[in-house]
């Protein structure tokens, strides 16, 4: 009862106006709140802050650069940054701190852009340092970089639209008429409401050349000229054709960047001088310190930041006996020295955010730039037409200059001068106004004749401009010429190196592996066994599936690599240590399944490349042979698969390893058999080694149409007695028919007896 009375008392004391207000707020639909309050804010962030447009700039960038342009900082000297910030606030009312931070990011000193737009003087900090702060705006100075001439070229000639600033006191450009695709050249990151944008930077020369090629051929393969992203901090990009193709096609994807380093042997330390764009020196040092403290990096004695005026340098002191390559493998795996960059090419096109691939961005930029050039040509055309129109009026005055003077002198009121000239000479108001404004000293026949002489040249220029305006080919030619000029004047070399898949891949930490001798066995169907010598001596007969049998066997070491060649021109790199020791009484590991080979793919050959100093011979059905250096298959990484292992022009029949540790220079003799029962024996010295894996080789055996090369084996492994009969001094050769005593079947029968 007490609670009920208290509630009634509180109800009586409530102000009715307040009750009505509260009731109105409570019943407002959430959809109205979103529409009235949230959506305008969200659209403002998307349209006016976070997402770049086709010129490659956000509004804050554009307002700052245009202010500097109007201050005369493109050709003049530097001025204090505080002065620039103050002037920019007429266009960008977001506070001096935000404006100055924008200028810092665009500056040459900060090194965030491959092509900086602000020529800075003083301490502007560094993008690769978290703690190296920039100085206050009152201490630093800045002007526009020379490349900004390409941003503002012909901006006064109606190339772009202008809009009112926030208080309607001045005009600002809606976009900058950039003569090159700056949207791809300058890195840009922004987080809006419900969406984000993250555009990596590309090399200016590569972007302009790609655009030129794209204009010439819309089906141009962009990956052939726009090799990969490029960053001002350098480093190395681990190139994956599939990843780059996905980014170029969809505008989304990621790739990996890693640091560049060198080993200072006298001082036993690693010097890291370029790091990924996505990290900072302090983040790397903090992570290394954490790993050292937890005992995961015992090889490091000390790490310090030795960055100076020469640039970034992180010094890593090594303990005695530490292998720098293995340590860097650990650091790449465990620290930000290797990092990923995620792309999201979200750009405002006509006021709408769109995620575009590289080709679509070039297409949109070309359409926009074409419109800019057309507007510029049209503006120039209109000015020349206006001038020609005035000269036509002056030409009429030439007929009687004295009459014009009489008309002006006899006119009583100034306002009647122009109408009287119009009546007297049959000219319009604009022409009459022009004549009336001519100075008295210029009212002579010589001056007027000189001006009229311009008429014919103006008519030619107008005709040419009209032709240009109506010709898509000529408009494209203008854009191409401007792009070539940008390459010539501002083009630079790549800063970020490209590491291709077939050269190297992500380095992984090498484990401490026990090394010991093993025997390798491979069956005809692809079953693999690794057996120790002791187990081999104690074991019984080798076990095989029905209809299967022995194919290869050789000695190796547990730490060695193995190359598995398939019948689909692919080679798989595996390590002996990846397989468990087994016994002769088991079937072994089925390699096609273990290596995840493609459907229908099978093992063709297996070899131990050793130190990759030898060669491997491939013999094809068409009678040709290729000698490839084993170094062509070597990488510094634990690569799993490599395509294009050998030529696919003809089916592969035999593989013969040729190790350098064999006979003189590793040369030996090979016996080649055909289905015609012919044999050729030749020295491998007749085959020149190639580094290109897919070479089609040279002919070693001349074959008749219905016959094929059947196999090739080292002579020492053949059953041929009279080798002289089949030996040749040059290739190709038809070979000699195989005699009965050299047949393999007969020799096998003798062996079984």
Q: What is the CATH number of the domain that holds 269?
A: 3.30.1360.40
Provide CB contacts within 8 A for 751, sequence distance 6+: none
Model pLDDT, residue 494: 94
Mean pLDDT of all residues in 26-50: 76
pLDDT given at position 13 = 53
SS3 201: coil
* Pair 408, 357: CB distance under 8 Å: no
Does 510 have pLDDT greater than 80? Answer: no
The residue ranking higher by pLDDT, 638 or 110, is: 110
* 661 — pLDDT class (breaks 50, 70, 90): very low
Question: What pLDDT is recorded for position 707?
Answer: 92
Distance between CA 20 and CA 33 in Å, rounded? 19
Q: CA 569 to CA 641: how far, in whole Å?
A: 11
In a domain, residue 195? The reply is: no
pLDDT at 745: 54
* pLDDT over 50 (residue 560): yes
pLDDT of residue 38: 79
pLDDT mean over 437-466 = 82
Q: Which SS3 state, helix, strand or coil, does residue 726 take?
A: coil
Total domains in the fold of the chain = 6
- CA–CA gap between residue 570 and residue 642 (Å, rounded): 6
Distances (CA, A) of 664 to 4, 117, 617, 669, 688: 111, 63, 17, 12, 15
pLDDT at 589 over 80: yes
Q: Answer yes or no: do 565 and 542 share one domain.
A: yes
**Whether residue 286 has pLDDT greater than 50:** yes
Which residues face 498 on adjacent strands? 237
Alpha helices in 255-357 (DSSP H): 281-293, 324-334
pLDDT score recorded for residue 78: 95
Q: Do the beta carbons of residue 601 and residue 570 sit within 8 Å?
A: yes
Residue pair 638/508 in contact (Cβ under 8 Å)? The answer is: yes
Q: How confident is the model at residue 749 (pLDDT cuts 50, 70, 90)?
A: very low
With beta carbons less than 8 A apart as the criterion, state whether 566 and 558 touch.
Answer: no
H/E stretch holding 202 reads none
Taking the C-alpha atoms of residue 169 and residue 151, their distance in angstroms, rounded to an integer, is 24
DSSP code for 50: I
CATH number at residue 158: 3.90.199.10
Please report the pLDDT score of residue 26 as a whole number. 57
- 138, 205, 423, 430, 509 from 435: Cα distances, Å: 53, 51, 13, 9, 86
Alpha-carbon distance of 611 to 629, in angstroms, equals 12
Residues 382 and 473 in one domain: yes
469 backbone dihedrals φ, ψ, rounded to 5°: -65, -30
Domain presence at residue 183: no
Four-point Cα dihedral 126, 129, 132, 135, nearest 10: 30
Assess whether pLDDT exceeds 90 at residue 408: no
**Is the pLDDT reported for residue 640 higher than 70?**
yes
Mean pLDDT over residues 647-654, rounded?
Answer: 90
Tens-digit pLDDT profile for residues 290-301:
999 888 888 899
Which two tokens mark 612? 């990759």
Q: Is residue 553 part of a domain?
A: yes
* Mean pLDDT of all residues in 667-675: 90
Does the residue 365 lie in any domain?
A: no
Mean pLDDT for the stretch of residues 41-49: 75
The verdict on residue 500 lying in a domain is no
Residue 505: per-residue pLDDT: 45
State the Cα–Cα distance between residues 629 and 403, nearest whole angstrom. 96
Q: Report the 10 Å Cβ neighbour count for 525.
A: 17
Same domain, 705 and 731: yes
Nearest alpha carbon to residue 679 among 626, 734, 630: 734
Query: Do 483 and 531 lie in a common domain?
Result: no
Q: For residue 489, what are the contacts with CB-CB under 8 A and spacing of at least 6?
A: none
When pLDDT is averaged across residues 144-167 and rounded to a whole number, the result is 93
Cis peptide before 732 (omega within 30 of 0): yes
Provide the pLDDT for residue 202: 96
Residues 621, 743 share a domain: yes
Which tokens is 752 given?
A: 């079984």
Q: Helix, strand, coil proportions of the chain in percent (round to 5)?
A: 40, 20, 40
426/697 Cα distance (integer angstroms) = 87
Catalytic residue ranges: 139
In the block, which residue shows the tokens 């012919």? 678
Helix or strand run (H / E) with residue 664: none
The pLDDT tens digits of the residues spanning 212-265 come to 999 999 999 999 999 999 999 999 999 999 999 999 999 999 999 999 999 998
Q: Which of 558, 565, 751 is nearest to 642 (CA)?
A: 565
pLDDT score, position 637:
59
User: Average of pLDDT values for 681-704?
Assistant: 89
Lowest mean pLDDT among 491-495, 500-504, 676-680: 500-504
CA dihedral 422, 427, 430, 432 (to 10 degrees): -50
Which residues fall within 8 angstroms of residue 685, CB to CB, at 6 or more apart?
Answer: 665, 667
CA distance 341 to 261: 20
**DSSP helix/strand/coil, 698:** strand
Beta-carbon neighbour count of residue 486 at 10 Å?
22
CA dihedral for 143, 147, 152, 153, sign (positive or negative): positive
pLDDT above 50 (res 617) = yes
pLDDT > 90? residue 443 = no
Residue 622 DSSP code? T
Structure tokens at 81: 């940054």
747 vs 113, residue with greater confidence: 113
Indicate if 485 and 568 belong to the same structural domain: no
Residue among 476, 254, 472, 250 at smallest CA distance from 361: 250
Measured CA to CA in angstroms, residue 661 lies from 21, 120, 276, 615, 665 at distances of 96, 61, 43, 11, 7
483 falls within a domain: yes
Residue 174 and residue 71 share a domain? yes
Average pLDDT, the chain: 87
Which residue, among 350, 56, 344, 58, has the nearest Cα to 197 in the 3D structure? 344
The alpha carbons of the chain give a radius of gyration, in whole angstroms, of 39
Q: What is the mean pLDDT of residues 173-185?
A: 95
Dump the DSSP string for 218-276: TT--HHHHS-S---TT--EEE--HHHHHHHHHHSEEEEEEE-EEEEETTTTEEEEEE--
Residues 602 and 708 in one domain: no
d(CA 221, CA 359): 9
Question: Which of 198-207, 416-425, 443-452, 550-559 has the highest average model confidence (pLDDT)?
Answer: 198-207
Helical segments of 617-753, H only: 744-752
In DSSP terms, 510 is beta-bridged to none
The reported pLDDT for the residue numbered 23 is 45
* 485 in the same domain as 386: yes
Which of 313, 336, 359 lies at the terminal end of a domain, its last residue? Answer: 336
Helix ranges, 508-606 (H): 533-538, 591-594
Rounded Cα–Cα distance for residues 445 and 438 (Å): 13
- Smallest Cα–Cα separation from 104: which of 86, 114, 116, 92? 116
Q: What is the mean pLDDT of residues 329-341?
A: 93
Q: Which residues contact 503 (CB under 8 A, 6 or more apart)?
A: 635
Phi, psi of 275 (to 5 degrees): -125, 165
User: Last residue of a domain, which of 158, 178, 198?
Assistant: 178
509: pLDDT strictly greater than 50: no
Neighbours of 98 (CB within 10 A): 13
Same-domain pairing of 390 and 473: yes
Please, what sign has the CA dihedral across residues 740, 746, 750, 753?
negative
CA separation for the pair 364, 350 (Å, rounded)? 10
Give whole-number Cα distances, 608 to 507, 518, 614, 665, 689, in Å: 22, 12, 10, 18, 19
> Do 481 and 525 fall within a single domain?
no
* Residue 254 forms part of a structural domain: no
pLDDT of residue 114: 94
Q: Are both 666 and 750 inside the same structural domain?
A: yes
Angle in degrees, 0-180, between the axes of helices 358-398 and 445-469, rounded to the nearest 10: 150
User: Does pLDDT of 664 surpass 70?
Assistant: no
- Cβ atoms 640, 573 nearer than 8 A: yes
- Tell me: pLDDT of 386 over 60: yes
DSSP category for residue 149: G
List the single range of 349-363, 435-449, 513-527 with lowest mean pLDDT. Answer: 435-449
Residue 206 covered by a domain: no
Instruction: Give the distance from CA 317 to its chain's centroid.
Output: 33
Residue 326: closest CA among 589, 536, 636, 566: 636
Alpha helix stretches (DSSP H) within 36-165? 39-45, 59-70, 81-88, 96-106
Structural domain harbouring 321: 260-336
Lowest mean pLDDT segment, chosen from 45-49, 75-79, 236-240, 351-355: 45-49
Instruction: Round to whole Å and give the CA distance between 9 and 396.
Output: 98
Return d(Cα 189, Cα 346) in angstroms, integer.
10
């Amino acid at each position: 009862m007490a609670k009920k009375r208290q509630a009634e008392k509180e109800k009586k004391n409530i102000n009715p106006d307040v009750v009505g207000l509260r009731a109105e707020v409570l019943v407002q639909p959430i959809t109205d709140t979103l529409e009235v309050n949230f959506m305008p804010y969200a659209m403002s962030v998307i349209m006016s802050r976070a997402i770049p447009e086709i010129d490659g700039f956000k509004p804050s960038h554009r307002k700052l650069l245009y202010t500097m342009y109007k201050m005369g900082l493109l050709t003049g000297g530097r001025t204090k940054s505080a002065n620039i910030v103050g002037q920019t606030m007429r266009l960008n009312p977001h506070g001096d701190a935000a404006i100055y931070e924008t200028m810092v990011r665009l500056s040459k000193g900060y090194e965030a852009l491959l092509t900086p737009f602000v020529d800075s003087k003083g301490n502007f900090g560094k993008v690769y340092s978290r703690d190296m702060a920039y100085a206050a705006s009152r201490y630093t100075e800045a002007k526009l970089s020379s490349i900004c001439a390409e941003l503002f070229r012909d901006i006064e000639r109606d190339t772009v639209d202008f809009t009112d600033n926030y208080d309607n006191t001045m005009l600002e450009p809606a976009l900058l008429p950039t003569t090159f695709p700056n949207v791809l050249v300058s890195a840009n990151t922004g987080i809006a409401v419900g969406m984000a944008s993250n555009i990596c930077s590309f090399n200016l020369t590569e972007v302009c050349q790609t655009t030129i090629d794209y204009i010439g051929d819309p089906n141009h393969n962009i990956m052939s000229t726009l090799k990969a992203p490029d960053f001002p901090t350098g480093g190395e990009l681990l190139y994956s054709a599939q990843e780059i193709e996905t980014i170029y096609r969809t505008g989304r994807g990621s790739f990996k960047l890693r640091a560049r380093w060198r080993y200072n042997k006298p001082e036993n330390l690693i010097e890291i001088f370029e790091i990924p764009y996505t990290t900072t020196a302090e983040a790397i040092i903090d992570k290394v310190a954490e790993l050292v403290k937890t005992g995961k990096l015992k090889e490091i004695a000390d790490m310090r930041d030795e960055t100076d005026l020469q640039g970034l340098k992180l010094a890593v002191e090594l303990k005695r006996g530490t292998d720098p390559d293995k340590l860097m493998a650990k650091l790449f795996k465990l620290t930000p020295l290797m990092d990923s960059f995620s792309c999201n090419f979200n750009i405002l096109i006509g006021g709408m955010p769109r995620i575009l691939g590289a080709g679509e961005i070039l297409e949109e930029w070309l359409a926009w730039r074409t419109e800019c050039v057309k507007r510029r040509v049209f503006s120039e055309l209109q000015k020349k037409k206006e001038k020609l129109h005035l000269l036509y009026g002056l030409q009429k005055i030439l007929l009687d200059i004295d009459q014009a003077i009489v008309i002006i002198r006899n006119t009583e009121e100034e306002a009647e001068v122009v109408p009287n000239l119009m009546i007297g000479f049959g000219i319009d108001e604009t022409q009459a106004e022009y004549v009336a404004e001519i100075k008295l000293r210029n009212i002579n026949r010589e001056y007027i004749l000189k001006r009229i002489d311009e008429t014919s040249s103006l008519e030619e220029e107008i005709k040419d401009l009209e032709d240009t305006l109506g010709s898509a080919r000529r408009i494209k030619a203008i854009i191409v010429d401007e792009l070539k000029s940008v390459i010539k004047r501002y083009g630079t070399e790549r800063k970020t190196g490209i590491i291709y898949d077939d050269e190297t891949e992500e380095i992984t930490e090498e484990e401490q592996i026990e090394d010991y001798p093993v025997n390798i066995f491979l069956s005809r169907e692809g079953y693999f066994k690794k057996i120790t010598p002791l187990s081999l001596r104690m074991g019984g007969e080798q076990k095989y599936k029905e209809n299967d049998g022995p194919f290869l066997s050789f000695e190796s070491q547990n730490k060695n690599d193995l190359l598995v060649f398939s019948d689909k021109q692919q080679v798989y790199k595996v390590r002996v240590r990846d397989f468990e020791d087994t016994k002769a009484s088991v079937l072994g590991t089925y390699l096609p399944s273990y290596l995840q080979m493609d459907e229908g793919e099978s093992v063709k050959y297996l070899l131990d490349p050793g130190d990759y100093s030898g060669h491997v011979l491939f013999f094809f059905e068409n009678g040709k042979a290729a000698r490839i250096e084993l170094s062509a298959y070597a990488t510094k990484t634990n690569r799993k698969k490599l395509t294009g292992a050998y030529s696919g022009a003809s089916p592969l029949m035999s593989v013969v390893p040729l190790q350098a540790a064999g006979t003189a220079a590793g040369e030996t003799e090979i016996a080649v058999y055909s289905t015609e029962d012919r044999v050729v024996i030749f020295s491998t010295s007749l085959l020149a080694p190639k580094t290109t894996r897919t070479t089609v080789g040279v002919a070693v055996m001349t074959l008749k149409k219905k016959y094929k090369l059947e196999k090739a084996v080292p002579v020492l492994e053949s059953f041929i007695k009279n080798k002289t009969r089949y030996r040749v001094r040059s290739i190709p050769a038809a070979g000699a028919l195989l005699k009965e005593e050299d047949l393999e079947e007969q020799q096998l029968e003798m062996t079984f007896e």
